[in-house]
Amino acid sequence: MLFKKISKAIFLATISASLSIGGALAIPNLTSVYAESTAKQPNKEVAKMYRVSHELQFDLKGTWAKLDGKKTSPIKAIVRNNRVFVPLRILTQSKTAQSITWNPKKQEARIVMKDQLVPTWKDLTFKIGSDSLYGLDYEIIPNKKIPKPVLSGGLVYIPASELPMLGISVSAAKGDLTLQWSEKIIELSTKSWETNEGTTTFTMLYQQEMNQPQVMRSIGNGGWEGGKLGKITGRNIPLDGRLYNRIEFTEDLKPGINLMQLTAISSDSATFAVDRRIKDPAAVLLKTSELGGQDVSFSAPTQGYIRAKVGEEITIAGTIMRPNPRFNEITIQVNKYNPEVNGKSTPGFSTVETKKVPIKDDSFTGSISIKEPGRYRVAINSPNYLLIAGSGYVSEQWAELVVEIP
């Protein structure tokens, strides 16, 4: 879909211990629309962004090793054709990998690095005896040849020269190897809050040596837009042995749940939710996108925010204003808000229903019926009629509806 094309890239790009073989709604500026209780805006910083540096040192013979200055299990490297290879378990020992999976049949190891390292390649696969390197979805990385990984003594060894692709720098001196990396962390102290207002203001701290953080806004289905910079309101703030700046953001809010993301160039990201509460849903009108307003006139719903009962039918109907031979059907996508997604404490929306409604004689009529209580955003998407170079015909979000089921 066209509306999903904006992402974080706007401003950038089974652990085995030993690996032994085995579109927006209308936001009327009417105070009466919203609840009259006091808005619960954050009264302290909602997040802190900082860097934690790490270093692993060891000798190539495997007689000693130190992790952040403390003794750890020795690591024995091997040398082939004047190339240094390190055991893959070094990534578990250093706790830099999120997961490592060994496939004995294919003789290959897939490495997924931790997000906090912000590596050039988060997901890489090394294949024993192959000079190719494989990225996400097992696609060969073009124009890249590597020293061939080795299987020795029941352990997988990868070339030390390729560790920088995983976010780890490498240096050698007098038979010793030093690996360095850093975790770029955004630590949330507040993951969600409510307000009655049309905007929300909040602050966060960020370590001075790091890039200034920005706020992104969810546009659904994993897409993000924005990259808005804030206003620095404090400098040289000492905390936990670091110096921080304080930065303030003010963001407009749609009715209902607003997902936002704090991030920065070469840093991790953190997602939080701001809930704009509604007093009178009837006062929030359905608003179409710019193209949606030109292509279609909705007769139902007229509201942009609906409080409904479990199982209550919600009609979605309209008339095509600009006929197009590709207008064959609309797609209704029902997305439910979850404070936790995929078992992680990250708020988000997940699709619970997708429904096709045919367009006949330049009009359409369909309905949805939500079976569980919750907070929902319902996307009303166009047919695939917009031609994008390299992508073919794609759809666009004509309108979005907020549904609350008590």
Per DSSP, the residues of 86-141 read EETTHHHHTT-EEEEEEETTTTEEEEEE-GGG--S-SEEEEETT-S-EE-GGGPBP
Query: Is the Cβ–Cβ distance between 177 and 160 less than 8 Å?
Result: yes
Please say if the pLDDT value at position 37 is more than 70.
no
156 vs 379: CA distance, rounded Å = 47
Which DSSP letter does residue 304 get?
S
> Which is it for the CA torsion 284, 286, 287, 289, positive or negative?
positive
Task: Summarize the confidence of residues 33-45 as an average pLDDT.
Answer: 55
Q: How confident is the model at residue 93 (pLDDT cuts 50, 70, 90)?
A: very high
User: DSSP letter string over 183-195?
Assistant: EEEEEES--EEEE
Mean pLDDT of 211-234: 87
Domains for the chain: give ranges and CATH numbers.
2-7+23-51+187-276 (2.60.40), 52-183 (3.30.457.10), 281-405 (2.60.40.10)
Cα(175)–Cα(84) distance, integer angstroms: 11
pLDDT, one tens digit per residue, over 55-81 is: 999 999 999 999 999 999 999 999 999
Give percent of the chain above pLDDT 70. 88
Instruction: Tell me what the mean pLDDT of segment 395-400 comes to.
Output: 95
Report pLDDT digits (tens) over 238-288: 999 999 999 999 999 999 999 999 999 888 899 999 999 999 999 999 989
Least confident of 3-12, 139-148, 322-331: 3-12
CA 230 to chain centre: 20
Q: Where are the alpha helices (DSSP H) in 123-258?
A: none
* φ, ψ for residue 227, nearest 5 deg: 80, 35
Judge contact between 135 and 123, C-beta under 8 A: yes
Nearest-angstrom CA–CA distance, 103 and 146: 20
pLDDT, residue 341, reads: 60
Q: What is the pLDDT of residue 34?
A: 30
Mean residue pLDDT across the chain: 88
Asked if 210 and 193 count as a contact pair (C-beta separation under 8 A), the reply is no
Q: Is the peptide bond before 164 cis (omega within 30 degrees of 0)?
A: no
| 402, pLDDT greater than 70 | yes
- What is the pLDDT, as a whole number, of residue 20? 33
Establish how many alpha carbons lie within 13 A of residue 198's alpha carbon, considering only the half-sphere containing its beta carbon.
Answer: 10
Residue 221: pLDDT band with limits 50, 70, 90 = low
The DSSP H or E segment spanning 398 is strand 397-405
Residues 147-159, mean pLDDT to the nearest whole number: 96
Q: Please, which pLDDT band fits residue 346 given cuts at 50, 70 and 90?
A: confident
**pLDDT at residue 25 tops 60:** no
Place of tokens 């009108």: 285
End-to-end CA distance of the chain: give it in Å, rounded: 31
Is the pLDDT at 31 greater than 70, yes or no?
A: no
Q: Which two tokens stand for residue 250?
A: 């003010």
370: closest CA among 317, 306, 275? 306
Least confident of 15-29, 87-101, 259-273, 351-365: 15-29
For residue 145, count CB atoms less than 10 angstroms from its CB and return exposed for 0-12, middle for 13-18, buried for 19 or more.
exposed
CB 126 within 8 A of CB 148: no
Confidence bin at 17 (pLDDT 50/70/90): very low
Spatial separation of the C-alpha atoms in residues 170 and 176, rounded to whole Å: 11
Q: Which string of DSSP letters, residue by residue, matches 47-68?
A: EEEEEEEEEEEEETTSS-EEET
Question: Per the structure block, which two tokens stand in for 322?
Answer: 């600009």
The structure tokens listed for 129 are 């005896």
What pLDDT score was predicted for residue 33?
Answer: 33
Residue 342 neighbours by CB under 8 Å, 6+ apart: none
Does residue 39 sit in helix, strand or coil? coil
Return all residues near 391 (Cβ < 8 A) that are at least 6 apart: none
SS3 call for 199: strand
Residue 2: its pLDDT value, please? Answer: 39
In the prediction, which pLDDT does 377 show?
Answer: 95
Give Cβ neighbours of residue 157 (< 8 Å, ≥ 6 apart).
Answer: 77, 78, 85, 86, 87, 88, 149, 150, 151
What value does the mean pLDDT take over residues 22-37?
32
Residue 91 CA, distance from chain mean position: 23
